[in-house]
Amino acid sequence: MKNVVLFVLFTLFISNLFAQSERKVIREGNDFYNKKEFVKAETNYIKALNANENSFEAKYNLGNSLYKQKKYAQADSIFTQIASEFGKYTENEKLSKTDLAKVFHNKGNSLLMQKQYAESIKAYKEALRRNPNDEKTRYNLAYAQKKLVEQQQQNQQKKNEDGDENNENKDDKDKDKEKKDDKNKDNKDNKDKKNEGNNKEDDQDGDGIPDKTEKGNNPSKPRDTDKDGKPDYQDQDADNDDVPDNQEAGENPKNPKDTDKDGVPDYRDTDSDNDGIPDNKEKPTVQRISKEDAKRILEALENDEKDLQKKLKEQNAKKAKVKNEKDW
């Protein structure tokens, strides 16, 4: 009996020792994370998971540290695992639907940064099912829906242009010299349009801010605000404050917003309002929208999508009509 008691006490001692070690590693990881040393933070969270694979805090923070390193696909994988195995974490930790909502919100952000808009919309909706009052998630949902509509419009336009080009090439086989001359003229016009398009300002990272602006005064050495090895004109979050450049640029990205008028635009300023609180520590102004405004945004996007579908049906109907007419 004495040996049994000693064994139980020894087991409890070892378990407590492992728990203390796990908590210490997580705390160290959190310190590294707050210092923006995300690689070191990632290492500590992995150590904590090796000690306790069912630690929600370690795995959740691991996903966040990967996101901060712009490893969006890996971060999405972590958040997906947490969501699918959420039940096992609740056995040892006091977790709620709100915690699961945060997981889906961060999963949506990881997908949004990969331009997987349809998938990010699903994740944000799952987050809102667990926490309907989260205005930040509601705003991100509206933004993702807007980007999805734009993506669909671009894809359809490209499809239509490719179809028109194929039809023209088929008809050219039966055209006489006069029609060939017309085709050459059309090709010249298309070339002029293409050249005209090439003269427009480039925007490689798709944030609305021209590359010329983001490169700075010395284009041969493009500006890299957050010193992450990725120049601003290829970085959707140039100052690494977790607020995308297209949000911080304002309504006129060609003339980016500078809230505190210090000469540094918000997308490059980690404290854009100069209140002493870093932007990644406070809720962005654009996220404080009312439920009524969010509802109007969603309704407007739905109406735009309906109008797009209507126009596409009309275009397809016209093409079908033209194809049925015989060219005698």
pLDDT at 200 over 70: no
pLDDT digits (tens, 9 = 90+) for 126-184: 999 999 999 999 999 999 999 999 999 999 999 898 877 776 666 666 666 666 777 67
pLDDT at 122 over 60: yes
Residue 193 lies in a domain: no
> For residues 141, 146, 148 and 149, what is the CA-based torsion angle, rounded to 10 degrees?
140
Would you state the pLDDT for residue 155? 93
Whole-angstrom CA distances from 86 to 100, 101, 259 are: 8, 11, 41
Determine the average pLDDT of the residues in 35-52.
Answer: 94
Instruction: Say which DSSP state 12 is in.
Output: H
Same domain, 55 and 132: yes
Whole-angstrom CA distances from 12 to 51, 98, 164 are: 16, 32, 75
Q: Last residue of some domain: 147, 170, 194?
A: 147
Same domain, 209 and 141: no
Residue 38 lies in a domain: yes
Q: Which residue has the higher pLDDT, 321 or 132?
A: 132
pLDDT at 9 over 90: no
Would you state the pLDDT for residue 239? 83
pLDDT at 3 over 90: no
Residue 9 lies in a domain: no
Band of pLDDT at residue 67, cut at 50, 70 and 90? very high
Would you state the pLDDT for residue 175? 64
Would you state the pLDDT for residue 152? 95
Same domain, 234 and 125: no
State what percent of residues in the chain have pLDDT above 90. Answer: 40
Do 44 and 28 meet the contact criterion of CB atoms below 8 Å apart? yes
Residue 152 lies in a domain: no
Looking at the 3D structure of the chain, how many domains does it have?
A: 2
pLDDT digits (tens, 9 = 90+) for 221-278: 899 988 888 898 898 888 888 888 888 888 888 889 888 888 899 889 888 888 878 8
Same domain, 53 and 142: yes
Q: Which CATH number characterizes residue 36's domain?
A: 1.25.40.10
pLDDT at 319 over 90: no
pLDDT at 17 over 90: no
Residues 6+ apart with CB under 8 A from 35: none
Would you state the pLDDT for residue 195? 52
Determine the average pLDDT of the residues in 61-77.
Answer: 97
Q: Which residue has the higher pLDDT, 11 or 49?
A: 49
Residue 316 lies in a domain: no
Band of pLDDT at residue 317, cut at 50, 70 and 90? low
How many Å apart are CA 314 and CA 115, to the nearest integer?
Answer: 29
Please state the pTM of the whole predicted model.
0.47
Same domain, 91 and 209: no
Same domain, 139 and 221: no
Q: Which residue segment(s) compose the domain that 282 sits in?
A: 203-289
Phi-psi region of 95 (alpha: psi -120 to 50; beta: other; left: phi over 0): beta
Q: Tell me the one-letter amino acid at 74.
A: Q
Q: Which stretch of 32-36, 205-209, 210-214, 315-319 has the lowest confidence by average pLDDT?
A: 315-319
Residue 209 lies in a domain: yes
Neighbours of 217 (CB within 10 A): 6
Buried-exposed string 232-257: b where 16+ CB fall within 10 A, e elsewhere: bbebbbbbbbebbbbbbbbeebeebb
How many Å apart are CA 200 and CA 245, to the nearest integer?
Answer: 20
The residue among 229, 191, 221, 297 whose CA lies nearest residue 69 is 229
Residue 115 lies in a domain: yes
pLDDT at 59 over 80: yes
Would you state the pLDDT for residue 18? 43
Residue 285 lies in a domain: yes
Same domain, 115 and 34: yes
How many Å apart are CA 245 and CA 242, to the nearest integer?
Answer: 9
